[in-house]
Structure 1
Amino acid sequence: MFAYNLWQWIAFFIIYCLIGWIGESLYVSWEHRKWVNRGFLHGPFLPIYGFGAVIILISTIPVRNNYFLIFLFGMLGATLLEYFTGWAMEQIFHVKYWDYTYDFCNLHGYICLGCSLTWGVCALLLTGLVHTPIEKLVLSLPAVPLMVIDIIFAVYFIWDMITSAQEAFDLKKIILENEEVQRLQKRLDVIHAFAEDDKTKFQDYLKEKGLEFNKSKEELTEEFQNRLQAARDRVDHRSQKMRKHATRILSRNPGSVSFKHKAEFESIKERINELRKTK
């Protein structure tokens, strides 16, 4: 065991991505009472399970005869992977595609005690039970067919990662553009709220916001109305394809949240759900 070449490692990654997708899709579908193609990607693969399985196998090589250390090392390795992946995705896309914020003993919502313990149990099951038949299957495959399978998967995987990342970026753009509209509308409302004779208070407000306070209320009103209309035009003219992208990635991740843009993100999810009901 563990004397694998690169192509065999890739095959294990593929298989555990598929197994993870099957398990999580069934669980989330049961939870939401409808079929959910779970995950960041379009295809039937969840990379975090593939990477998690590979990390567990590698990290437990030195301790493969000690069940406690298999549990401990597997739990730590997979938990670190889950934390880093969740953190990186939120920084890039401004969305948490899984969230443990309300689970017991969580860290920044990326990991929690329950899931970490589950990773440890999975490490025991993986090394002691699950991996044995999978190992026999992969090792029984001739080198050339195995290489061809891995290359085909790698090409598809890269394509799926690129298209899925584009969907996530499109969702991020829609969130930011809608927030820009809301921000400009609020500023315009504040400008209208100031009385014409309250110039001192009005100028203090403009100075605080870093705006030019030598302009009149009318000039600023016109400026913000133009900016607001331009922002609304950008949102309205956003391509239908981009909106479909946002819908697709949210449908695969119904439990996703955004704490950076909470109000607008929830508003987008509600609008998408309303559109689905009308179809």
Structure 2
Amino acid sequence: MDWTVLFLIWFIYSLLGWIVETLYCSIRQGSFAERGFLSGPICPIYGVGAIYVIFLVDPYVKTLGGLFLLSMVTTSILEYVTSYIMEKLFAMRWWDYSEKKFNINGRVCLENSIYFGILSIILVNWIHPYISFSVHQISDTNKNYMSIFLFAIILLDIAYSSNAAIKLNSRFKQIYILKEEIRDAIGRDHLEEKLETFLAHGQRFIEEKHEDWMGFKASINTNINEFKDHVDVDLSTLPLYKKIKELQTRVKFSERRILRAFPKLKSTKYDDVLEELKRNIKKR
């Protein structure tokens, strides 16, 4: 098969996959849900899955049941492998189905696998014949121009989006390192001393069966506030703390887009930092 035909078919299904996933997630969310690793409106994994089903699965099965089962298994393998590779490349888990029943390491789940099987039947029997016919109607010259143009745009998008993911992970690391430096600058011993003083009040209350509960409660609240005030004052005077605030608030558009597109994104190394960053962005 002509590579331009194969590429255009891949692109069309990547686009259709993006549309289907965006609509599905938007309906469930009740508002527009931006989806996909790339900035453009395509999800390459859907294009790869469609190519696989059309050219490597469909020719070798004779029944709808066989097509459903084989497509369900093979597309799930593709999703699992993609999740694993992207996690290793960017040190982030991009989606997680751990809360769903019958999932495998949170990377794939039975519910989605069933959807993939149903979509594969629709694809092979109703959608692809029309798409294949339409692509073959395009002249060879136009197919070449379209393929070269789209290929160049997608390569740029891959580079742009990958760079955003790498910088986002670097942002997590910087915040984590700065927080460690702040803890050292404040002094762990002093913080532990404050905590011990606070806990001592509770211990005395238990031992003496303190009856003045309101007085004890006020005393505890005072100690808590003193503890917080001390920490806040120390932090606000540190350039390190200001740097953290900048890293948490001045997030580039490309990085925010990734966080919007993958609401369940997790960092394999700095997940606490990532969750705090999400909260800060949401507040803004």
TM range (shorter): 0.7 to 0.9
The structural deviation recorded for 1:237 is 6.5
Q: Which deviates the most, 90-99 or 182-191?
A: 182-191
In structure 1, list runs of 5 or more residues that go unmatched.
Answer: 196-224
Counterpart CA distance in 2 for 1:186 and 1:88 is 34
Q: Check the 8 A contact 1:39/1:45 in 2, yes or no.
A: yes
| Residue from 269, 272, 284 that aligns with 1:263 | 272
- Structure 1 segment 50-89 matched on structure 2, within 5 A: 50-89=47-86
TM-score by length of 2: 0.76
| Residue from 168, 176, 185 that aligns with 1:171 | 168
SS at structure 1 position matched to 2:253:
helix
Counterpart CA distance in 2 for 1:55 and 1:81 is 10
Q: Check the 8 A contact 1:63/1:69 in 2, yes or no.
A: no
| Residue from 33, 38, 43 that aligns with 1:41 | 38
The equivalent residue for 1:27 is 24
1:249 has 2:258 as partner: yes
1:272 has 2:270 as partner: no
Paired residue total = 241
TM-score by length of 1: 0.77
| Residue from 96, 103, 113 that aligns with 1:99 | 96
Q: Check the 8 A contact 1:16/1:53 in 2, yes or no.
A: yes
The structural deviation recorded for 1:234 is 5.8
Q: Over aligned residues, Cα RMSD in angstroms?
A: 2.6
Q: Check the 8 A contact 1:171/1:245 in 2, yes or no.
A: no
Q: Check the 8 A contact 2:249/2:280 in 1, yes or no.
A: no
| Residue from 114, 121, 138 that aligns with 1:117 | 114
The structural deviation recorded for 1:23 is 1.1
Q: Could you say which structure has the larger radius of gyration? A: 2
Q: Which deviates the most, 183-192 or 256-265?
A: 183-192
Counterpart CA distance in 2 for 1:70 and 1:239 is 48
Counterpart CA distance in 2 for 1:240 and 1:183 is 19
Residues 238 and 263 of structure 1: CA distance in aligned 2, closer, same or farther (over 3 Å): closer
The structural deviation recorded for 1:31 is 2.6
Q: Check the 8 A contact 1:180/1:231 in 2, yes or no.
A: no
Counterpart CA distance in 2 for 1:55 and 1:94 is 27
The structural deviation recorded for 1:16 is 0.5
In structure 2, list runs of 5 or more residues that go unmatched.
Answer: 194-233
Residues 240 and 148 of structure 1: CA distance in aligned 2, closer, same or farther (over 3 Å): farther
| Residue from 17, 31, 34 that aligns with 2:14 | 17
Counterpart CA distance in 2 for 1:52 and 1:41 is 17
The equivalent residue for 1:190 is 188
Counterpart CA distance in 1 for 2:82 and 2:61 is 26
Counterpart CA distance in 2 for 1:92 and 1:231 is 29
Counterpart CA distance in 1 for 2:248 and 2:270 is 22
Counterpart CA distance in 1 for 2:136 and 2:20 is 24
The equivalent residue for 2:199 is none
Residues 10 and 82 of structure 1: CA distance in aligned 2, closer, same or farther (over 3 Å): same
The one-letter amino acid paired with 2:99 is: Y
Q: Check the 8 A contact 1:96/1:257 in 2, yes or no.
A: yes
The structural deviation recorded for 1:164 is 0.7
Counterpart CA distance in 2 for 1:194 and 1:36 is 45
Q: Check the 8 A contact 1:25/1:38 in 2, yes or no.
A: yes
